[in-house]
Structure 1
Amino acid sequence: MKQQSNNSILQFITQGSLVLQILIGIIAGSILAVLAPSAATSIGMLGSLFVGALKAVAPVLVFVLVAASVASHKRGQNTQLRPIIYLYLFGTFAASLTAVAMSFMFPTELVLVSTETSANPPQGIGEVLHTLLFKIVDNPISAIMNGNYIGILAWAIGLGIAMHSASDTTKTLFNDVAAGVSSIVRFVIRLAPIGIFGLVANTIAQTGFSVLLGYSQLLLVLIGSMLLIALVMNPLLVFYKIRRNPYPLVFKCLRESGVTAFFTRSSAANIPVNMDLAQRLKLDEDTYSVSIPLGATINMAGAAITITVLSLAAVHTLGIQVDFATALLLSVVAAVSACGASGVAGGSLLLIPLACSLFGVSNDVAMQVVAVGFIIGVLQDSAETALNSSTDVLFTAACCKAAEEK
């Protein structure tokens, strides 16, 4: 009887619902943080190890999968990259427009802090795009080591095209290496409940949520905008593609991709999770092996919302009047900047001064707004990453399923 019980526990751990296990990890981490904060801080190492493992395996996974897919691609085989990219770009722009509307409906004023940051924001969109372009021609070893996914994609596609005329044996070797790396990824993903247990315990023990109460309205506007995109705008776009109830797919992506991304707070670390989900959804590997790492770079609805809401909060705080044309320009700037956020150290928060410059807000004031962003980052960055990453696999799935039904 005891042996049977042990076997049942082992089977639940190795084959049971990952979402249920993650939920157990979240509850256990929260309880530990409340009862024993010092132990929770120590156990946070488990979370760091999990995120580190995902970040370590993701660049290699993307490189071998993309190279193998392109090398094995047959002429006339239809991939859905173009409509997916259109959805990425439109979704990011729609998110910035939504954020503008929410900011006007619920204008937020900030108590600016004197916290200084040594980070250097980009001085214009030109600098953002310049950084992004030079990422493309990065050394391939450097790109893999530093998680530069634009560079990884460029080299993987180039190598795949070069290997297109290689022998079947060579192509089989590529596919076998990709399958081997994928197996390692699946093992790392099974460790998610332990990793998220450590992340939750450490986060709650160190920061709590009392510090966030002073910024409750700002957080409500930010997270409310992200929820509107996740639960209204994205389902409308998916319905446009698949012409049936989009919510089962939307909730599956939020549950199995968004939850993990919320706690890892890293789009790069969530690429293996999205790849695994895309495989279980039986999507076209030639499509998702490129679209998901590309989405981690250019599909930035959450970042566009963060840039727009915090910039307009600074504008409202200073009493600056904003007309419709300027608000529309802000939406365009936020969308373009968000797509280049991965090429800038510090991500979306460091693009706030660029957006603030449209309204003549000084860099000193803008950097104080960035400091506010870091204070609320425990929720803002988590929700932003969850929206960005879950939308990558959602839009990929929508376009693949739409193509299957034609």
Structure 2
Amino acid sequence: MKIKIGLIWRILIAIGLAVGLGMLFPKIHEGFADWFVRLATTFNMIFGGFLNFVVPLIIIAFIAPGIAKLGKGSGKLLGLATVFAYASTIIAGILAYFTASSLLPNLIGNIGAASVENAGKAPAEAFFEIEMTPIMGVMSALLLAFLLGIGMASIGSKSMLGFFEELNVLIEKVIAFIIIPLLPFHIFGIFLNMTYSGEVARVLSVFAMVFVMIIALHFIMLALQYTVAGSLSGRNPFVLMKKMIPAYLTAIGTQSSAATIPVTLKQTKEAGASNRVTDFTVPLFATIHLSGSTITLVSCSIGVMLMNGMTVEFSSYLPFIFMLGVTMIAAPGVPGGAVMAAVGLLSSMLGFSESMVALMIALYMAQDSFGTATNVTGDGALTLIVDRFTSEAEKVENVAKEQSV
């Protein structure tokens, strides 16, 4: 019987092995330790270069067809759903920013004084360098994706949409069969290098602090969403949240909003949303509503920046949060899709280096299932809100029609 180890466990095993070997090797044979760390660093150089090359393709392949598909729908219902989903994602990001920027500097303490890349020994160097130049910059890819997506939606192009949907599937395969399987080895190399340079204990302590804070923020965001939904629908928000527990637990297990759609549909209808609105909005929200993932990305990125002694400013983060809400549209249905879609923004807007991106991925992956669970559970609340506004709009239209007759 073949035993399948989940991605989270593979990442945790990689971190544990890296820390253990990094502490053990120098005591056995320092020369071999130096060679082994350089070998891991060489792999990281190749993998990091390939990831940077793929990032613009990820942006185009996911955002262009995602925006084009938003052109399909039923008018006001699509507009309401899109506005509420984006607003929820932005609010989640702002909540995460102010919480993380207030708490983490005090929790991390003096960790930010020593850079992750410049502590203890100098980080090991790769045996050789290979340049993998991306076909275009991140911002160019974003602009091109918006232009193509809006254009396809406006002219209703089926042939172009078919091409980009196939490109989307191709890039998903690259992520699922190349990037995700090799990711634990990349993280292994990063943590091995950090252990070698004497910084790993500080980094792991920050991991624990950020993890606890993120989970707390997830529940605060869900409470806020269901308080609004309960107030508008006249229902008890805690009863509504209880109805969505099966969807939350399913998302933790699958780590995919798309895979949880059937359960989310069932539980949202049981919570009182109409069939018409639920059947339209839940699959849509699974693609465009990522409040839990945004909380995680913003919180983790602030933690990584503080570890590296970088300045965290709201004027820099607000544009980043607004872009996250769009960039993560149609993030792939594989674990870690949101952080893969955000890699380009981390580098271009926040100035992340390759090692910082790797730390960010490790932090994100460690609780990806909880972020996904928050996303899909929040979908139920937003569906109830949209259902309420749609019902009111229909009542107004019916009254207007009666008066005109």
The alignment's TM-score, normalised by the length of structure 2, stands at: 0.54
Decide whether aligned partners of structure 1 residues 230 and 147 sit closer, same or farther in structure 2, where only a CA change above 3 A counts. Answer: farther
Amino acid at match of 1:391: G
Decide whether aligned partners of structure 1 residues 121 and 327 sit closer, same or farther in structure 2, where only a CA change above 3 A counts. Answer: farther
Decide whether aligned partners of structure 1 residues 44 and 308 sit closer, same or farther in structure 2, where only a CA change above 3 A counts. Answer: closer
User: Is 1:388–2:383 an aligned residue pair?
Assistant: no
Residue 53 of structure 1 is matched in structure 2 by none
Shift of residue 130 of structure 1?
4.6
Cα deviations by residue, 1:231-277 (Å, 9 ceiling, x for unpaired): 2x212432453255322112312x12111111111111011212222
What SS does structure 2 have at the residue aligned with 1:341?
Answer: coil
Decide whether aligned partners of structure 1 residues 345 and 213 sit closer, same or farther in structure 2, where only a CA change above 3 A counts. Answer: closer
Residues 97-106 or 325-334, more deviating: 325-334
Task: State which of 103, 127, 134 in structure 1 corresponds to 2:141.
Answer: 127
Amino acid at match of 2:214: L
Which aligned pairs between 1:76-155 and structure 2 lie closer than 5 A? Answer: 80-107=77-104, 108=108, 112=116, 123-124=137-138, 127-128=141-142, 130-131=144-145, 137-139=160-162, 146=169
Cα deviations by residue, 1:124-146 (Å, 9 ceiling, x for unpaired): 35535755756975339966x95
Task: State which of 348, 356, 366 in structure 2 corresponds to 1:366.
Answer: 356
Residue 243 of structure 2 is matched in structure 1 by 252
For the aligned residue pairs, the C-alpha RMSD in angstroms reads 4.3
Residue 266 of structure 1 is matched in structure 2 by 256
Q: Is the 8 A contact 2:226 2:381 kept in 1?
A: no
Residue 275 of structure 2 is matched in structure 1 by 285
Task: State which of 204, 215, 218 in structure 2 corresponds to 1:223.
Answer: 215
Gaps of at least 5 residues in structure 2 are 7-68, 118-122, 127-131, 154-159, 172-202, 396-405
Taking the aligned partners of 1:356 and 1:141, their CA distance within structure 2 comes to 25
Decide whether aligned partners of structure 1 residues 318 and 141 sit closer, same or farther in structure 2, where only a CA change above 3 A counts. Answer: closer
Taking the aligned partners of 1:259 and 1:276, their CA distance within structure 2 comes to 14
Shift of residue 219 of structure 1?
0.6
Taking the aligned partners of 2:270 and 2:357, their CA distance within structure 1 comes to 43
Q: Is the 8 A contact 1:352 1:370 kept in 2?
A: no
Residue 348 of structure 1 is matched in structure 2 by 338
Which aligned pairs between 1:162-173 and structure 2 lie closer than 5 A? Answer: none
Taking the aligned partners of 2:343 and 2:165, their CA distance within structure 1 comes to 28
Shift of residue 44 of structure 1?
7.5
Amino acid at match of 1:97: I
Decide whether aligned partners of structure 1 residues 292 and 236 sit closer, same or farther in structure 2, where only a CA change above 3 A counts. Answer: same
Task: State which of 284, 288, 296 in structure 2 corresponds to 1:306.
Answer: 296
Cα deviations by residue, 1:46-104 (Å, 9 ceiling, x for unpaired): xxxxxxxxxxxxxxxxxxxx9xx98xx9xxxx974433322211110011001101211
Decide whether aligned partners of structure 1 residues 84 and 331 sit closer, same or farther in structure 2, where only a CA change above 3 A counts. Answer: same
Residue 235 of structure 1 is matched in structure 2 by 226
Q: Is the 8 A contact 2:304 2:360 kept in 1?
A: no
Amino acid at match of 1:303: S
Shift of residue 227 of structure 1?
1.8
Q: Is the 8 A contact 2:85 2:289 kept in 1?
A: yes
Shift of residue 343 of structure 1?
9.2
Shift of residue 386 of structure 1?
0.2
Residue 5 of structure 1 is matched in structure 2 by none
Shift of residue 291 of structure 1?
1.1
Shift of residue 355 of structure 1?
2.8
Decide whether aligned partners of structure 1 residues 221 and 282 sit closer, same or farther in structure 2, where only a CA change above 3 A counts. Answer: closer
Taking the aligned partners of 1:141 and 1:95, their CA distance within structure 2 comes to 30
Taking the aligned partners of 1:130 and 1:276, their CA distance within structure 2 comes to 38
Shift of residue 282 of structure 1?
5.5
Decide whether aligned partners of structure 1 residues 243 and 355 sit closer, same or farther in structure 2, where only a CA change above 3 A counts. Answer: farther
Q: Is the 8 A contact 1:131 1:343 kept in 2?
A: no
Q: Is the 8 A contact 1:278 1:288 kept in 2?
A: yes
Decide whether aligned partners of structure 1 residues 89 and 313 sit closer, same or farther in structure 2, where only a CA change above 3 A counts. Answer: same
Shift of residue 371 of structure 1?
4.1
What SS does structure 1 have at the residue aligned with 2:260?
Answer: helix
Cα deviations by residue, 1:145-180 (Å, 9 ceiling, x for unpaired): 9599xxxxxxxxxxxxxxxxxxxxxxxxxxxxxxxx
Cα deviations by residue, 1:384-404 (Å, 9 ceiling, x for unpaired): 110111112221123325655
Decide whether aligned partners of structure 1 residues 328 and 293 sit closer, same or farther in structure 2, where only a CA change above 3 A counts. Answer: same
State the identity as a percent.
21
Taking the aligned partners of 1:371 and 1:333, their CA distance within structure 2 comes to 18
Shift of residue 284 of structure 1?
3.1
Q: Is the 8 A contact 1:79 1:287 kept in 2?
A: no
Taking the aligned partners of 2:228 and 2:292, their CA distance within structure 1 comes to 16
Taking the aligned partners of 2:379 and 2:252, their CA distance within structure 1 comes to 14
Taking the aligned partners of 1:106 and 1:328, their CA distance within structure 2 comes to 18
Amino acid at match of 1:388: N
**What is the aligned length?**
270
Taking the aligned partners of 2:358 and 2:5, their CA distance within structure 1 comes to 29
Amino acid at match of 2:368: D
Residues 101-110 or 310-319, more deviating: 101-110
